[in-house]
A and B are shown apart, each in its own frame.
Chain A
Amino acid sequence: MPPSEHELRLRDRLSRLRNMSLLGGAKLSGELQRLQRQLDRIGEEPTGDDIWRSVELARHPERPYTLDYVDALLDDWFELHGDRSRGDDAAMIAGLGKLAGRTVVLVGQQKGRDIHQRTERRFGMSNPEGYAKAMRAMELAETHGFPVISLVDTPGAYPGVDAEQHGQGGAIAESQTVMARLTVPTVACVIGEGGSGGAIAIALADRVLMQENAIYSVISPEGCAMILWRDASQAKKAAAAFKPDALHCLELGVIDAIVPEPKGGAHAAPAEAARLLGESLREALDDLVDVPGDELRRRRRAKFRSLGVFA
């Protein structure tokens, strides 16, 4: 059977990816094997069922969250609290620590494990105070020359009365602006749900990675179904239409690489999931740390300004 157009496009993109310096260190670390695995699978266009499985795995209640990866990957972790203005948003984590001996600033959304935590952390949906905290941490990184790692895991920004009164939209825009200005290396990884504006607020990075079963989308499947089908139960259909899975994001050039997960999903073997994530983060950083800061920033903006399809 001749390769589908989809496969050809993906092959082309993956071959370009191979030539990118991101995967230059690949031979050392098995990245190439991972790529091969990705390449082996792309013959099959993800079906609606595959996409929905990603949605379910991305939201799995036992899926590792930001602080689980912090525990597994960072030494000397010190968590920062508060936006120095109004409050401390538990939905957004910020802190300093060492990744493989290198001091980094890490920001990321945090969902909760039990009902108490979930309420406190609002299921990982940040208020403007959360973005303000992330911005403060990223500016701290800029001052001291630390790379920034962001882990994205949010259904979206919190839709609340206070959030709106305190400038939710402006906070998301401002957080992206801070990232567009940084001269330190930045790596973002979508580790669960990359939901809309709430996600992109901390994902304007030099390298954007996505775990194999994560989703990254402009709206939640339920929200899309509600608007277009006027029926939230059509979520599966909606997800199949707007394709939030990692393979499609890679194909569209929205992410730079897919981070593999253990068989059955990250929750099936959290330690292995953390190891694979740590490897990808380190490789991406290794590749960026020697690039001069203004060049990093120039390339970062050029990359995001090139996204879109039009004629």
Chain B
Amino acid sequence: MAKIDVSIETEDKPAPPPKHPNTCPGCHSHYRDDELERAQWVCAQCGHHFPMRARARIAALLDEGSFYEEASDLHSEDPLGFFDLRPYTERLAEAEMSTGLADAMVIGQGAIEGRGCELAVMDFAFMGGSMGSVVGEKFSRACDSAAERGVPLLSITSSGGARMQEGILALMQLPKTVCAVEDLHDAGQPMLSVMAHPTTGGVLASFATLGDILLAEPGALMSFAGPRVVQELTREKLPDDFGRAEQNLRFGQIDAIVPRPELRSTLGLLLRIFDAPV
């Protein structure tokens, strides 16, 4: 008798009561969308940084009207015919519907305080910001675009790591983006990397940590392995700020932690230092 696959998505324990996404996990303050929007999604009470969508970041960072998007039509294929509880293609379609993005990265040209740059911004809302072929290709093209135009590359990451559903090809996006950064460096252009919560796994272990300057948002988790994996393996109590931006700064892994409201002026300063005329 043919076996019937009975796997369906089930929760084995009752879900906790849903927290409103606009309730601050740090201090439980509650905000309206427009309040958070105006505050760049930072809690006015405790400074907690809410996740920020790629397009909102671009709007907050760049000079008004300076953004010109590139490669917006790139879509993932399904090279493995991947099927876990649902087909990968279905997950992609759903992510596209809910985010309005074709994949987890937006790239394009822009300017900050009058200085030109190329931008590669990740969006965690699209399948956890996972890196598959499209993210790798877009990042790679952003490097080329920066090199061609002689401007610095600004990368903002928010990603759980490589996208499992693309199997080994997802892993190959690590060396792909590493090679792209090296080509950018050979063309004499710098990369400024801003790591937002979370920047973990394959993205941390490839282009995100290869910036000439490494910045992080407050509280961002930046660990190669997730805290749960480390805890399970080592059976030790993890330090409270395990893998967080603050720990990374203390251990010399990054140059600075920059609160979101100061990010535009910090990047403006760095672009001046690296001297990128429009």
Binding site for B on A (CB under 8 A): 157, 159-161, 163-170, 172-174, 176-177, 180-181, 196-197, 199-201, 203-204, 216-219, 223-224, 227-230, 238, 241-244, 248-249, 252, 254, 300-301, 304-305, 307-311
Q: Which single residue of chain A is at the shortest CB-CB distance from B71?
A: A310
- Contact sample, A vs B, 24 pairs, CB 8 Å cutoff: A157-B224, A164-B225, A164-B242, A164-B243, A166-B251, A169-B201, A169-B208, A170-B205, A172-B205, A172-B206, A176-B206, A197-B171, A197-B201, A197-B205, A197-B224, A200-B171, A217-B171, A218-B167, A218-B168, A241-B83, A243-B168, A308-B137, A308-B176, A309-B76
| Chain A nearest Cβ from B252, distance in angstroms | 8
B174 beta carbon closer than 8 Å to chain A: yes
B202 beta carbon closer than 8 Å to chain A: yes
Complex alpha-carbon distance, A243 and B165, angstroms: 10
Knowing A160-B233, A164-B243, A308-B176, say if A173 contacts B170 (CB, 8 Å): no
Q: Which single residue of chain A is at the shortest CB-CB distance from B173?
A: A308
**Is there an interface contact between B234 and A173, defined as CB atoms closer than 8 Å?**
no
B95 beta carbon closer than 8 Å to chain A: no
B154 beta carbon closer than 8 Å to chain A: no
Contacts of B276 in A (CB 8 A): none
Complex alpha-carbon distance, A165 and B246, angstroms: 11
**Is there an interface contact between B236 and A249, defined as CB atoms closer than 8 Å?**
no
Please report which residues of chain B, range 183-236, place their CB below 8 angstroms from some CB of chain A when the two chains form the complex.
183, 200-202, 204-210, 222-225, 229-230, 233-234, 236
Contacts of A216 in B (CB 8 A): 168, 171
Q: How large is the interface on B (under 10, 10 to 19, 20 to 34, 35 or more residues)?
A: 35 or more
Best-surrounded residue of A164, A200, A254 (most CB of chain B within 10 A)? A164
Task: Name the 6 nearest CB pairs between A and B, nearest first.
Answer: A308-B133, A159-B225, A169-B204, A242-B167, A169-B224, A172-B205
Complex alpha-carbon distance, A201 and B80, angstroms: 24
Besides A304-B172, A308-B137, 19 other CB < 8 A contacts? A157-B205, A157-B225, A164-B225, A168-B224, A174-B209, A177-B178, A216-B171, A218-B168, A219-B162, A229-B84, A242-B82, A254-B172, A301-B183, A305-B179, A307-B133, A309-B76, A310-B74, A310-B134, A311-B76
**Is there an interface contact between A308 and B172, defined as CB atoms closer than 8 Å?**
yes
Q: Which single residue of chain B is at the shortest CB-CB distance from A230?
A: B12
Chain B 120-139: CB-based contact to A (< 8 A → 1; otherwise 0): 00000000000011101100
Complex alpha-carbon distance, A177 and B205, angstroms: 11
**Is there an interface contact between A168 and B75, defined as CB atoms closer than 8 Å?**
no
| Chain A nearest Cβ from B186, distance in angstroms | 9
| Chain B nearest Cβ from A276, distance in angstroms | 23
| Chain A nearest Cβ from B181, distance in angstroms | 7
Complex alpha-carbon distance, A170 and B207, angstroms: 9
Complex alpha-carbon distance, A123 and B137, angstroms: 34
**Is there an interface contact between A180 and B223, defined as CB atoms closer than 8 Å?**
no
Contacts of B82 in A (CB 8 A): 241-242
Complex alpha-carbon distance, A228 and B163, angstroms: 12
Contacts of B278 in A (CB 8 A): none
**Is there an interface contact between B204 and A224, defined as CB atoms closer than 8 Å?**
no
Complex alpha-carbon distance, A113 and B83, angstroms: 36
Contacts of A165 in B (CB 8 A): 247, 251
**Is there an interface contact between A164 and B223, defined as CB atoms closer than 8 Å?**
yes
Contacts of A157 in B (CB 8 A): 205, 224-225
Contacts of B162 in A (CB 8 A): 196, 218-219
Contacts of B208 in A (CB 8 A): 169, 173
| One of B80, B176, B200 near A243 (C-beta < 8 A) | B80
| Chain B nearest Cβ from A257, distance in angstroms | 16
